[in-house]
Structure 1
Amino acid sequence: MKQKNIFSSETVKEIEGIGPKTGKVLADAGIKTLEDFRRADIKRLSKTTGIAGRVLSAWKSSAVLQRIIGIDRQIAEVLVKNNIRDLIVLRNANPKKILEIIKSAREPKDKYNIIPDTYTKIVTLEKVLMWQCSVNTSHIAPGGFGAPARLSADGYINIWIIREYETKFSTLGSIFIAGRHIYTLEPPDRNNAATDNYLTAGRIFPGSYSSFVRTDGTRGWRIELKNVPARSDIQIHKGSHPEHTWGCILPGMDKGNDRVYDSDTAMKTIKAQVESSGTNPDITVNVCGVPISIINEPPTQPPSTPPTSSGGGW
């Protein structure tokens, strides 16, 4: 019977730390390819081969991460060493932090680089976002490619809000959610002032906030942050201008001076990613970053009338 050909890129040698001798031990145990490793029972394999379970577990994680186009043996090793060991963790990680980890691995440490000087591939933020986006397909849920695939009945998802620029009237930044990049607008830093006036209300303090979906009333689908210090009704909701927020985060597909654009599409994008994570996912909104102050002119458009609220949340 003719044996199936195995491409060299699919063999276990594509995992850092596996040489010819160990490769033969694994092959004798039936582990010849990356896919064999992904399906392996680590406890059973450890008994069969005599290789420590923690080592096999790290190798299996490397094999899993290499499902993603662009993640090779060197990048996978770096991610595993930094506790990014499966696709859901990869999908939910701060993409800028991933990029920092990879850049750090290329710097000499005691005459040793985790990623050697001979490595020529360039990793950018856009590539990291592509890795995270691709997790939404059949890598997790088998049965062909779909966008996005449902990860679990009750999964979790991280939303990263990274503040970048601050003016007299607003704070502009980015949302990263499962590989999607969306712009944000918040009030400027006014020491977390909770007022119902966009001219005096401030953005919330940085932190990680457990959050939940709200659909009640006439305001549509939105995400509300829990336990925000000295604030209430802090949400990610539709809006475009500083006068649309008294502390909430407004998403948009593009940005301008003290405004974001196409907030409706941005909210639909966020909604799709949250719903792809399960029927009732745990949501964490991480707010971070120290924005750079810039000078600008007052908004040219007249203020609109925001909805009524309390606690500086709308």
Structure 2
Amino acid sequence: MDLTPYLGLVRPETDLACFPEPPVMDPSYSDSLSGVYVSDVADLPLKRLAGPGFWEALLAARLGASLDLNTDLKAFLPASFPARPTYSGVMGNKSYTHFAPTNTELARLPFVTGYRRGGWVVISSVGLLLNQAVEGQVIALYREDADGNVIGAPLKSVTVDVAAQSKTHHPVGAPWRVPMDGGHYALRATLPDGVRYADNLLSCGCGGNMAHLQALISSCCTGKASGFLVSLTSSCEYDPLLEKLVMDDRTQLVIGYMLAYQTAYRLLLTPATGEIDRDSVLSTSDLAGASGRCRQEYLDRLGWLKAEVVKLQIDASDCCFQAGPSWGRRGGLFR
């Protein structure tokens, strides 16, 4: 998740005469969703560091701080908000009784994903049960509306050679990731004249671990699969929880200051250049002391978040992870 909008560079009421003009009039230079700015950090004397590369250095350091914080938050969040179990299985049964009449050239397998923010249905391989061999058969993934009409171009596609009555699963290459947004999707394959697909059941392997695919595909286990065989699994990303953290009044300011201190830390560690020569205003020992203090401020807040985040009882019911148990007395807010 890009956290840079939650940290401004220079507070608007600052005397801008001390700084070079920004290269562009971009709100990202002056806006801060958390109300915190890099210029708030006392250990970073921005007015004495300004030079031709001033804004570029700030932008680069802020972006680096955003990446650092993303990594650090996602390293401990799974302990308090474990991902829901990863399920896998096959959509489309290999058993069938006959091949459908040739009343259509389109083999279509519609499905509706479950709703879990941050969750993905991951398709690793597809197959087609056909009565004849077909070379260069295109299988494509589309988004559809509720009436089954295609929306836009195919999201993904693969071209395969299908042997007659073959139950082979063909790898799709890079896995196809379908967001668990409650949306309507479909696998489609336009078949040559005279080619028919099997009447296999959708079924989703409704037993054992594969029955849990119903948590991924809300339309699973009923209807026909139109000859398709689809290998599925799931994955979970923590960006939705980061969004909840930065939007929460109890943690937004903490995260804003973490970004500010880590940005300052990065600036203080960056080798001095002819554009921003910090050594002209800060000694080597001063630089080491300032960078160390900024880093410690960041780590102190990270430690507070680790200890307190589960006690905040952030609602994660709509996400692909779930809140762990809360224990102990809720502590005070960290600023």
TM-score normalised to structure 1 length? 0.25
Larger radius of gyration: 2
| Greater relative CO, 1 or 2 (CA 8 Å, sep 6+) | 2
Q: Comparing both structures, which one devotes a greater share of its residues to strand?
A: 2
TM-score (structure 2 length as normaliser): 0.24
